[in-house]
Amino acid sequence: MANIKKIKGTIGILTGGGDVPGLNPAIRAVTFRAIREGYRVLGFKRGWAGVIDIVRNKKYDNSNNFAELSKAVVNKAARTGGTFLHTSRTRPSHVAKDMVPKHLRDSYDKEMNDLTPEVIKNLDWLGVDYLIPIGGDDTLSYGVHLFKKGIKVMAIPKTMDNDVPGTDYCIGFSTCVTRTISLTNSLRTAAGSHERFLVLEVFGRYAGFTAMLPTLAGAAHRCLIPEVPFNIDQLAELLTKDRNDNPSNYSIVLVSEGATFEGGKMTFEGMEKDAFGHAKLGGIGDEVSLALKRVSPKYNDGQVVNVINQKLGYLVRCGDPDFIDSVVPTAYGNLALDLILKGIDGRMVVLKNGRYDHVPIEVVTDSKKFVNVDKYYNREKLHPFYKNFEMLPLFIMTND
């Protein structure tokens, strides 16, 4: 008689929110380990959207909503950036009427609908024992909601803003910083050739880590972060001094997309909001550039300093993951399986002070993560502090 290996259970995995390099290595790590331990792995497509779109009929083709993952499929995908499972910003507890799947519209016809009952039924229909969402605080906040409803959830933090609370590191952050440094170094040749200010808008809605770390590494002279509203005259004076001190006669500032002028508000591309209530940020780099050009004569002997203005945007989140975003997702995926094998759920795997660990998943919704300004940011100089590094972890700025 053939030796048929009994399946211990089913693990579901999904990726939600923005794409980042490192998602595919995380999916690979979970799948390889889970299969080796005797589990079946289902990959849900398009984040939470794939979970709500399922039709509970074995004759229905749900291949656009989920697929059983194999070692061959995930091994090939892990070499690349993005997520081969695709992603969306779907929030099943808040689904607009026109976004409700067609087969559910007779039952859910309000302007805003909670499809959580359908999510739970779908997971039960598929026999999912554990669900592993990989995402930022929005994606994981719904994971917390499901956990409180009785679903066994194991979360993995991802976001290039590095602002998921409870962890020092989120998948995608290192590659974002690496790309930002590389692109800034490429653009400085144009800034130097024309003797200009170089203004680069980078990611960072509420937290300034993606501007702070590249500046700390020497990519820029100054950085503006969401945690500290800035004064344009202060910035212009500092950049002018940097420019004058530079033999190539240019200076650089990194501007977090969530940064604000003193007394001002965040700058948005439009008024449309996603399922989590966030309007798309964008344009603060343009505003800073115009303002710098306007006030620069005050600090440059009456002469205007022209500006090169560039939004780095998706350039820092595309392409292959770097070394750290290949290794950390592998560790996170294996740690998630370690916990599942022990019968533990309701946790988020994390890096804290340079060590892998896990924390209650509720930390995602119980707190917020920002740059500790007093500890890491020099308000007078508009750049990080360059002191007191002894015994700090790799990425310096911890989840305080």
Specify whether 161 is catalytic. Answer: yes
Mean pLDDT for the stretch of residues 40-47: 98
Q: What pLDDT score does 268 carry?
A: 64
Q: Is the pLDDT of residue 2 over 50?
A: no
Comparing 225 with 77, the larger pLDDT belongs to 225
Residue 271, burial from CB neighbour count under 10 angstroms (0-12, 13-18, 19+): exposed
**Which fold is adopted by the domain 9-171+323-366?**
Rossmann fold (3.40.50)
> Where does residue 218 fall: left (phi above 0), alpha (psi -120 to 50 degrees), or beta otherwise?
left
Nearest by Cα to 115 from 44, 154, 148, 107: 107
Tell me what the mean pLDDT of segment 329-355 comes to. 97
Check if 9-171+323-366 and 174-312+373-384 are the same fold. yes
pLDDT at 400 > cutoff 90:
no
pLDDT of residue 276: 57
Do 251 and 284 form a contact (C-beta atoms < 8 A)?
no
Per-residue confidence (pLDDT) for residue 6, from 0 to 100: 79
Q: What distance in Å separates the CA atoms of residue 351 and residue 345, rounded to the nearest whole number?
A: 18
Taking 50 as the threshold, does the pLDDT of residue 185 lie above it? Answer: yes
pLDDT, tens digit, 9 for 90 and up, residues 106-125: 999 999 999 999 999 999 99
Per-residue pLDDT, averaged over 13-30, amounts to 97
**What is the average per-residue pLDDT within 12-29?**
97
Average pLDDT, the chain: 94
Catalytic residue among 19, 53, 137, 161: 161
The span from the CA of 169 to the CA of 177, in Å, is: 12
pLDDT at 227 over 70: yes
pLDDT at 1: 41
What residue segments make up the domains of the chain, in order of their start? 9-171+323-366, 174-312+373-384
Provide, rounded to the nearest whole percent, the portion of the chain with pLDDT above 90. Answer: 88
DSSP readout, 233-258? HHHHHHHHHHHHHSTT--EEEEEETT
Q: Is the dihedral of CA 21, 23, 29, 32 positive or negative?
A: negative
User: Counting beta carbons within 10 angstroms of the beta carbon of residue 303, is it exposed (0 to 12), middle (13 to 18) or buried (19 or more)?
Assistant: exposed
- What distance in Å separates the CA atoms of residue 167 and residue 228, rounded to the nearest whole number? 22
281: confidence class by pLDDT, cuts 50, 70, 90 = low
What is the C-alpha end-to-end distance of the chain, expressed in Å?
A: 58
174-312+373-384 belongs to which homologous superfamily? Answer: Phosphofructokinase domain (3.40.50.460)
Locus of tokens 């997309």: 257
**CA 21 – CA 265 distance, rounded (Å):** 30
197 C-beta neighbours (distance < 10 Å), count: 27
At 282 the pLDDT is: 65
Predicted confidence band at 397 (pLDDT cuts at 50, 70, 90)?
confident
3-state secondary structure of 118: helix
Answer whether residue 317 shows pLDDT above 50. Answer: yes
Strand locations in the chain (E): 9-15, 39-44, 66-68, 95-96, 112-113, 128-135, 154-157, 197-202, 222-224, 251-256, 268-273, 279-281, 307-311, 347-352, 355-360, 377-378, 383-384
